[in-house]
Chain A
Amino acid sequence: MPPAGDVSGASWPRRLPPQVKIVAAVATILVIVLTPPRPPWVFLGYALILAAVVQSSGVGWRTVFSRMRVEVPFVAFAVLLPFIATGPEVTLGPLELSEPGLWAAWNILIKATLGIVVSILLAATTEAPDLVVGLQRLHVPDILVQILAAMVRYVSVVTGEWQRMSRARAARGFHGHGPRSWPVLARSLGTLFIRSYERGERVHLAMLSRGYTGRLPAAGTAAATSADWSVALVLPLTVLAVAALSWWVAR
Chain B
Amino acid sequence: MHIPDGFIDAPVAAGAAVVAAIGVGVCLRGARRTLDDRTAPLAGLVAVFVFAAQMINFPVGAGTSGHLVGAALAVILVGPYAGVLALTVVLAVQALIFADGGLTALGLNVLNLALIAGLVAWFVFRGVVRVAGTGKPGIVAGAWLAGLLSVGGAALGFVAEFALGGTAPVSLAAVGGAMVSVHVVIGAIEGVITALVVWSVATVRPDLVVGLRAPAVASSERQAVAA
Given A26-B104, A183-B196, A192-B49, residue A147 in contact with residue B58 (CB < 8 A): no
Q: Answer whether residue B138 sits at the interface, using C-beta atoms and an 8 A cutoff.
A: no
| A/B pair count, beta carbons within 8 Å | 253
Stretch at the interface among A6-14, A154-162, A223-231, A233-241: A154-162
Query: Interface size on B (CB < 8 Å)?
Result: 72
Most central of B88, B174, B197, B199 by chain A CB within 10 Å: B197
Distance (whole angstroms) from the CB of A176 to the closest CB of chain B: 5
**Contact between B102 and A213 (Cβ–Cβ < 8 Å)?**
no
What is the CB-to-nearest-CB distance from B65 to chain A, in angstroms, rounded to a whole number?
Answer: 8
Q: Is the interface of A mostly helix, strand, loop or mixed?
A: helix
- Interface presence of B132 (CB below 8 A): no
Are A144 and B85 also in contact (CB < 8 A) when A74-B7, A154-B48, A186-B200 are?
A: yes
Q: Does B141 contact A (CB under 8 A)?
A: no
Instruction: Establish whether residues A148 and B104, one from each chain, have CB atoms under 8 Å apart when the complex forms.
Output: no
Taken residue by residue from 162 to 193, chain B's Cβ proximity to chain A (1 for < 8 Å, 0 otherwise) reads as 00000111110010000000000000000011
Counting chain A CB atoms within 10 Å of each CB, the highest count among B7, B40, B78, B198 belongs to B40
Nearest-neighbor residue (CB-CB) of B99 within chain A:
A119
Contact between B92 and A190 (Cβ–Cβ < 8 Å)? no
Bound Cα distance from A46 to B55, whole angstroms? 33
Contact between B104 and A204, CB atoms less than 8 A apart: no
Interface residue ranges of A24-61 to B (CB < 8 Å): 25-26, 29-30, 32-34
CB distance A70 to B99 under 8 Å? yes
Which residues, 126 to 151 on A, are CB-close (under 8 Å) to B? 128, 131, 141, 143-144, 146-151
Interface presence of B39 (CB below 8 A)? yes
Size category of the A interface is 35 or more
A114 to B102, CA, bound (A): 10
Q: In A89-136, which residues have CB < 8 Å from any B CB?
A: 98, 100-101, 104-105, 107-108, 111-112, 114-116, 118-120, 122-123, 128, 131
List, in ascending order, chain A residues with CB within 8 A of B199's CB.
190
Known A87-B169, A177-B59; judge A151-B89 contact (CB<8 A).
yes
* Least CB distance, A162 to chain B, in whole angstroms: 5
B96-A122 in contact (CB<8A)? yes
* Interface assignment of A194: CB less than 8 Å from any CB of chain B: yes
Task: Find chain A residues with CB under 8 A from B208 CB.
Answer: 193-194, 197
Q: Is the CB of B59 within 8 A of A176?
A: yes
Which one of A70, A98, A162, A181 has the highest number of Cβ atoms from chain B below 10 Å of its Cβ?
A70
Sample of 14 more A-B contacts, CB < 8 Å, known A70-B2, A100-B169, A150-B45: A33-B10, A84-B174, A101-B170, A104-B170, A112-B5, A112-B102, A149-B40, A151-B51, A154-B48, A159-B48, A179-B192, A200-B44, A207-B41, A208-B37
A sample of 30 inter-chain contacts (CB < 8 A) reads A84-B174, A86-B171, A108-B168, A115-B6, A115-B102, A116-B4, A118-B103, A119-B99, A146-B44, A147-B40, A151-B47, A151-B90, A154-B44, A155-B51, A158-B48, A159-B55, A162-B52, A177-B59, A189-B56, A189-B193, A190-B204, A192-B49, A193-B201, A196-B49, A199-B45, A200-B44, A204-B37, A204-B42, A214-B36, A214-B37
